[in-house]
Every structure is written in C-alpha cells, then in structure tokens.
Chain A
Amino acid sequence: MFDFTSMTTAIDSYLNSVLPSSAATLIECAIIAVCVIVAYLVFAIIMIFMERKVCAAFQCRLGPMRVGPWGLLQVFADVFKMLIKEIISIKNSDKILYNLAPFLVLMSSIITFSCLPFDKGLQVLDFNIGAFFIMAASSFGILGILLAGWSSNNKFSMIGAVRSGGQMISYELSMGLSILTLVVLSGTMQISEIVETQTKGWFIFTGHVPAFIAFIIYIIAGNAETNRAPFDLPEAESELTAGFHTEYSGMNFGFFYVAEFMNMFIIAGIASTLFLGGWAPLYVPGLEGFNSVMECIPGFVWFLAKTFFVIWLLMWIRWTFPRLRIDQVLALEWKYLVPIGLINLLIMTICVVMGWTF
C-alpha cells in the first residue's frame, strides 16, 4: 500500500529547509486547514446530492432532474439561494450566543472530520487516544445545539434543544460502549493502528458476533446522534416547526444543515474505520492472489466506498422507519442499547481473553 507519510514528510522537510521552523509550521497548519475545509465542503455537496437522490429512489421518485444533467447542479442552486437570504436578527435573543451556536456545531464536526483516516498516513489528527478524542470532539456539537435553542428566545427552539440534549447525551453512551468494544478487540486507541490491525481482516469479521452487535448498536446510536429520523425529535417538523434552528435563516441555517450532513459522513466514516477496516483492503486469509488484487485498489477508494456504503445504510434506515416518541427514544437507549452494549463489551472481553477471535 502506498504510504502518504512519505509525501507529507517530504513537504515538511522541504518547507523546513527553505523557511525557519516556526514559519514552516504556520504554513503547514494553513495548508492543512484549507485542505480539511475544502474536503469538508466537497463531501457536504456530495452528501446533500446523494441524500436527495437516495431519498427519491426510496420513494419511487427520480429526485432533482432539472438543474444541470440529472440535477447535478441542484446543490449549488440551494447554496446560492441560502446565500442571498437575509440573516434576520431576533428580538430579545442573546445576540452573541445566537451567532456563536452554528459555529460551535460546525467546529465540532470539522474537528471530528479531521480525525478520519482517508488513507495510510492521510490523516490530520492521530494520537494515542484517538478514539476518545473523536468521542469528545463529536459530543461538543451538542453545546452548539443547546445554545442555539436557548438563545433564540423561542419556545419551539427551546423544547427542541432540550430534547436534543436528552437524546444526544444518552446516545453518546451506547456509542462510546460500542467504540470501546472495538478498542478492546484492537488493543489500541490510536486510529491509525486500529486500521493497521485490520489489514489482516476487518474487525466485523475477526470480531464476529460481538463486533456485529456493536456495529448495529453503533449505527442506531449514530443515527440518533445526527438527529435524523427515526430520531429527529429535536427538529420534529410536525410539532416544533424546525426545532432548535427554527429562528435561523440564510447561511446560519446553512451551517446547521451542512454540519448535520457532515455528521452523518463522520458517523459513517468512523463506522467504516472501526468495523469495516477503514482504508484496509478486503483480506481473505489463504487467498494470496485475491489479496494482492485487492491491494492494487488505492486505500482512499476503499475508505470512501465503505463510508458511502454506510451512509447509504443510514439513509435506508432514515427513509424507512417512522419516528419514535421521546419516551420511546429514551427507553430504547436506557432499557435496551445500554444493557446490550455492556453485555456485549463483556462478551468481547471474554472472546479476546480466551483468544476466540480470528
């Protein structure tokens, strides 16, 4: 497999040779920031388009077809519409928090996004407690949602924000449990090492039953984390207009919208990293010819293919199931997912200790 570290170290040593080291670091930070934000936006555009098309297909429609061939330019038209809308300021709202909230949400999702390993060495943040860092970074987006609801001075926003607080903090738990299950299996928390281990078999195969249960729990919790149906209570159009972002307009709303889509990408990316092997190609022990063919496909293709497969799975769930009530949401988490997750963690530990994994 091609290792991108050689490329990044080459750029690093070149910059250090022509510039003082502080300036080199500054420029590297800027380059990385630009790359991350560009990738973030590109994926957001792809995701929004994909959502429209996949949703349409599940409803037996064609989706957008008019703007550009097959409606390819629809997303740009949407963004343009959002950009020319007025950003209204709400009477009696808390101006600072009101304007800060979308950025908190966006920031949390960008930081988590930069933890995703796109290919060997193609990863911005990678250190020894990576799994914990992802959980921490992804959960401070909830702060932005709570602030958005609180500062808009609107009862619908407030109810939406409180619901989303209750829901996201609860589901954080079972998400953490299923990530921990995989950490037990891999024996490390460093994202790059987790993927490295999976070049000799993806965890969903090597970890068999407990890994599969953890995957299901992760998908359910991930759906709840992104506030999408069947867990879209914080937004609940029918009862709360738009929930916590009722009062937002123009690009401030756009940030929430983009962050929601990218959270789905991130959830899918982490799922594919932890369970489906990230950039690791399909490895079947014993079939050397097959394995070497699989090796020829570049890592980022593997990663994106798996991620978009999981995204498709999430969309399939979203457009199939009816919405839950708030008490059902919490009952599902505390009565079902958490106990199952804990027992599953125990089973995985026993499997690892007894050497029952492949």
Chain B
Amino acid sequence: MKFKDTYFGGIFGAISSLLTGMGVTLREFFTRKVTEQYPENRKELHISERHRALLVMPHDENGNNKCIACGLCRQACPNGTISITTRTVTDEETGKSKKVLDTYMYDLGACMFCQLCVNSCPKGAIEFTNEFENAVFDRKKLIMKLNR
C-alpha cells in the first residue's frame, strides 16, 4: 500500500492538491481581466484574429480578385449561402474560351460562419474579417455582392 492511499496520505494529498487549485485561482484573481466593455471601448476593442464575422473577397489595387469562378465554395456551403453567376469570354490571343466571374452573391443572413467555403477555395480568394457590426433593418441588405 502506497503512502498516498493511506488515511494520512489521503489527507496530505488532498491538502496539496487543493492548495494547487487555490494557487491557480489566486493567479487568475490578479491577472488582467478579459471583459470588453463594448460600446464604450470601440476604439481599443480587441477581437480574436480568428473571429468570423463577415465574408469578403479581397481585391488588389487594380481591382482584381483571385476568384476563378470554379464554384467550389458554392458547393461546399451547407446553407446555399453563395450564388455565383459566370460568363464565358474568349481570349483574343489564343482563341480559347474561359469562364470568368460575373457576380458573387453572399447572403449574410443565411451564413452560419462554418468557414467551409474559405477552406475549399483553391485560390484563397475569399476570407473572413472581424467586421461584426452588421445589423441592418432590412433583410435585403444582408445579400451582398462580394466582387467588384
């Protein structure tokens, strides 16, 4: 029989483990608090980088995005949130026809922020941002065109 299984071993084991727990909470008592006092501290509000609030399609300075209109994101979306319309253009030099993006519609009201669309995109054309103040008075405003 080990000492820690005996009556007195149990007592000392319990005391030391309880003290360990109290040490942890005492440290927590003096650490900086994580509460955000939201409307007042909008300036210095801290939101985690990984927070998913709004889907966007980043554009470079010439107004080009990386989307190739493959439709993988639309297929990956469980909610049918994304709808894509495409048109076919013919390249003048080679004469090959190619599908390009016409409109990329995203319905914020139907999105559940699962990030499957972002993960499935082969080009990294879409991403989530921290813009969370998205409340509007009309549902129609939640349907957004992401490409320019």
Contacts and interface: CB of A to CB of B under 8 A. Distances in A.
A65 interface: yes
A231 B60 CA distance: 61
B37 A62 contact: yes
A317 interface: yes
Contacts of A65: 35, 37
Interface in B22-71: 22, 24-26, 28-29, 31, 33-35, 37
B11 interface: yes
Interface stretch (A52-60, A96-104, A251-259): A52-60
Nearest to B40: A65
A320 interface: yes
Given A65-B37, A336-B11, A58 B18 contact: no
A85 interface: no
B95 interface: no
B138 to A, nearest CB: 30
A40 interface: no
A316 B23 CA distance: 10
Interface residues of B, number: 14
A61 B34 contact: yes
Interface in A275-319: 316-317, 319
A59 B26 CA distance: 10
Given A59-B28, A336-B11, A321 B21 contact: yes
Nearest to B32: A60
Given A62-B37, A336-B11, A316 B31 contact: no
A56 B28 CA distance: 10
A60 B22 contact: no
A346 B24 CA distance: 35
B33 A316 contact: no
Contacts of A321: 18, 21
B33 A61 contact: yes
A317 B33 contact: no
A321 B29 CA distance: 15
A56 B37 CA distance: 14
Contacts of A336: 11
Interface of A: 54, 56-62, 65, 316-317, 319-321, 336
**Lowest 10 CB-CB distances: which A-B pairs, in order?**
A62-B35, A320-B25, A62-B33, A61-B35, A57-B29, A320-B21, A58-B25, A320-B22, A60-B34, A58-B29
Interface of B: 11, 18, 21-22, 24-26, 28-29, 31, 33-35, 37
